[in-house]
Amino acid sequence: MMTRQQLVAVGETGTEHAVRLEAATMVYGSGAGRVTALKAVTTGLPRGVLTAVMGPSGSGKSTFLHLAAGLDRPTSGRVLLGGTDLSGLSETKLTELRRDRIGFVFQAYNLIPSLTVADNITLPLRFAGRSAEPAWLMEIASAVGLGGLLGRRPNQLSGGQQQRVAIARALITRPDAVFADEPTGALDTTTAAEVLRLLRELVDTRGQTVVMVTHDPVAASYAHRVLFLADGTIVDELAAPTPDAVAARMTHLGRRA
Ligand SMILES: Nc1ncnc2c1ncn2[C@@H]1O[C@H](COP(=O)(O)OP(=O)(O)OP(=O)(O)O)[C@@H](O)[C@H]1O
């Protein structure tokens, strides 16, 4: 068993990856409107690590997340999830894989207002035709601090609690990786810190793999490792980040742009 620090260190070359991108390129549009949003990116997202992805606006962060999570396919190159090459899968198989092996957390929570907290959390299982084991639901609900709120509806929860429901929903299928797109973008500073502490704790105590896109150096400092994108390329990375170190790199990237 490797230590987490070793896992972070194998980011580029090791095999302990939840997700690997190999020369992944993404081109949108054609002719004069052609944009190469990601340029032959090769990197691994180590298991049991919280990775933050940062970069200036338009640098390719969302594109990176969409490819790594199997939401889009690269124009060229490969994306591997736990050894499965996503480019070889049919649309149906890819949809199943996203449903069963990947968790998503969005800035806007995306909960279903008419469903209880318990039913929102277990929705991905029901989509897969499976039912939730009550003990597993309770374990996940307690892990995210929602143990006593399972019967409520989303409009009876604070923003932070709603995001905890979304995190529990992302975890309920025991996914290989959870992808979070600006997960604290809609929260105040104190609530954001609580949600970020929770994400880090889920990685540290449960070995969950989490990949988070953020604009915020403070949010990125909760990660074990930060990848910096500029112009569709990974230009830098930082282990054990502090907010100041992340902000300094971002300023440097801003000057390059
Ligand atoms: N569907 C699309 N069609 C055409 N161009 C796109 C599309 N999606 C993204 N792009 C372009 O690809 C580049 C990278 O976009 P992307 O959204 O990945 O960047 P980002 O770093 O997430 O930006 P932001 O921080 O502003 O959300 C940008 O130039 C963008 O305009």
Q: Which is more confidently placed, 233 or 4? A: 233
145 ligand 1 Cβ < 6 A: no
180 ligand 1 Cβ < 6 A: no
Is 21 in a helix, a strand, or coil? Answer: strand
**Which of 200, 169, 49 is CA-nearest to residue 192?**
200
Contact of 183 with 105, CB cutoff 8 Å:
yes
| Model confidence pLDDT, tens digit, residues 122-132 | 999 998 898 88
**Which of 57, 82, 88, 110 is CA-nearest to residue 177?**
82
37 ligand 1 Cβ < 6 A: yes
Non-local (6+) Cβ contacts of 99 within 8 A are: 124, 127, 128, 173
| Model confidence pLDDT, tens digit, residues 92-145 | 999 999 988 999 999 888 999 999 999 999 999 998 898 889 999 999 999 999
| Mean of per-residue pLDDT scores for the chain | 91
Instruction: Tokens 């910096």: give the residue.
Output: 228
Contact of 235 with 228, CB cutoff 8 Å:
yes
**In the prediction, which pLDDT does 83 show?**
83
**Which of 144, 124, 122, 143 is CA-nearest to residue 133?**
122
The answer to whether residue 15 scores a pLDDT higher than 70 is no
**In the prediction, which pLDDT does 7 show?**
52
- Going by pLDDT thresholds of 50, 70 and 90, the confidence category of residue 257 is very low
Tokens for 143?
């892990």
The residue whose CA is least distant from atom 13 of ligand 1 is 37
List, as one string, the DSSP characters of 185-230.
TTS-HHHHHHHHHHHHHHHHHH---EEEE-S-HHHHTTSSEEEEEE
**In the prediction, which pLDDT does 14 show?**
46
Distance 35 CA to ligand 1 centre (A): 9
The answer to whether residue 10 scores a pLDDT higher than 50 is no
With left for phi above 0 and alpha for psi between -120 and 50, is residue 142 left, alpha or beta? alpha
28 ligand 1 Cβ < 6 A: yes
Of ligand 1's listed atoms, the one at least distance from the Cα of 215 is: 25
Domain spans, the chain = 47-59+100-254
Class (C level, CATH) for 47-59+100-254: alpha beta
The residue whose CA is least distant from atom 31 of ligand 1 is 58
The answer to whether residue 45 scores a pLDDT higher than 60 is yes
**In the prediction, which pLDDT does 212 show?**
97
ipTM of the complex: 0.97
| Model confidence pLDDT, tens digit, residues 166-222 | 999 999 999 999 999 999 999 999 999 999 999 999 999 999 999 999 999 999 999
Whats the size of the chain, residue-wise?
A: 257
% pLDDT > 70, the chain: 93
**In the prediction, which pLDDT does 252 show?**
86
What is the distance in angstroms between the CA of the first residue and the CA of the last residue of the chain? Answer: 40
Question: What value, to the nearest 5°, has the Cα angle with vertex 250 and ends 61 and 220?
Answer: 65
Of ligand 1's listed atoms, the one at least distance from the Cα of 229 is: 21
Tokens for 88?
């070889």
